Amino acid sequence: MSGNTLFGSDMSYFSGKARAYLRWRDISFEEIAPTPEIMKSEIIANIGWPVIPVLKTESGEFVQDTSDIIAHFEASNSGVKAIPETPLQRMVTYLLQLFADEWMTLPAMHYRWNHNEEWIYGEFGKNSAPDGTPEEKYEAGKAVGQRFRSFVPMLGITPETIPGVEKAYEQFLADLSAHLETLPYLLGTRASYADFALIGPLYAHQYRDKFTGEHMKRTAPKVAEYVERVIAGEGKTGDLVPKDDLPVTLLPILKVALQEHLPVLTETSKLFSEWARTAEPQSEVPRGLGMVPFTTGGHSGMMAARTFSLLRLQDALDVYLMMLPSDKRRADAFLDAIDGNAFKTMRIDPRVTRRNYKLALA
Is residue 226 domain-resident? no
If you compute the radius of gyration of the chain from its CA atoms, what whole number of angstroms results? 20
Torsion angle of alpha carbons 238, 240, 246, 247, nearest 10°? 10
Q: In three state form, how does the secondary structure of the chain look?
A: CCCEEEECCCCCCCHHHHHHHHHHCCCCEEEECCCHHHHHHHHHHHHCCCCCCEEECCCCCEEECHHHHHHHHHHHCCCCCCCCCCHHHHHHHHHHHHHHHHHCHHHHHHHHHHHCHHHHHHHHHHHHCCCCCHHHHHHHHHHHHHHHHCCCHHHCCCCCCHHHHHHHHHHHHHHHHHHHCCCCCCCECCCCHHHHHHHHHHHHHHHCCHHHHHHHHHHCHHHHHHHHHHHCCCCCCCCECCCCCCCHHHHHHHHHHHHHHHHHHHHHHHHHHHHHCCCCCCCECCCEEEEEEEEECCEEEEEEEECHHHHHHHHHHHHHHCCCHHHHHHHHHHHHHCCCHHHHHCCCCCCEEEECCEEEEC
277 lies in some domain: yes
Of the residues 76, 98, 128, which one is the last residue of a structural domain? 76
Per-residue pLDDT at 76 = 84
| pLDDT (0 to 100) of residue 256 | 93
Q: What is the pLDDT of residue 270?
A: 97
Nearest to 67 by CA among 26, 28, 98, 39: 98
Strand order in the sheet with 4-7: 29-32, 4-7, 54-56, 62-64
Which of 35, 61, 76 marks a domain boundary? Answer: 76
Q: 41: domain range?
A: 4-76
> What is d(CA 5, CA 324) in angstroms, rounded to the nearest whole number?
40
In a domain, 338, yes or no: yes
Q: Is residue 137 part of a domain?
A: no
Please state the φ and ψ torsions of residue 337, each to the nearest 5 degrees.
-70, -25
In terms of phi and psi (left: phi > 0; alpha: psi -120 to 50; beta: otherwise), the region of 50 is beta
Q: Can you give the pLDDT of all 362 residues of the chain as single tens digits?
A: 459 999 999 999 999 999 999 999 999 999 999 998 999 999 999 999 999 999 999 999 999 999 999 999 999 888 899 999 999 999 999 999 999 999 999 999 999 999 999 989 988 888 888 888 888 888 888 888 888 888 899 999 999 999 999 999 999 999 999 999 999 999 999 999 999 999 999 999 999 999 999 999 999 999 999 999 999 999 999 999 999 999 999 999 999 999 999 999 999 999 999 999 999 999 999 999 999 999 999 999 999 999 999 999 999 999 999 999 999 999 999 999 999 999 999 999 999 999 999 999 99
pLDDT in the model for residue 2: 59
Regarding pTM above 0.85, the answer is: yes
Of 54, 76, 98, which closes a domain? 76
Residue 48, domain member (yes or no): yes
Q: Is residue 140 part of a domain?
A: no
Domain count within the chain: 2
Looking at the domain assignment, is residue 127 inside a domain?
no
Q: Does the residue 82 lie in any domain? A: no
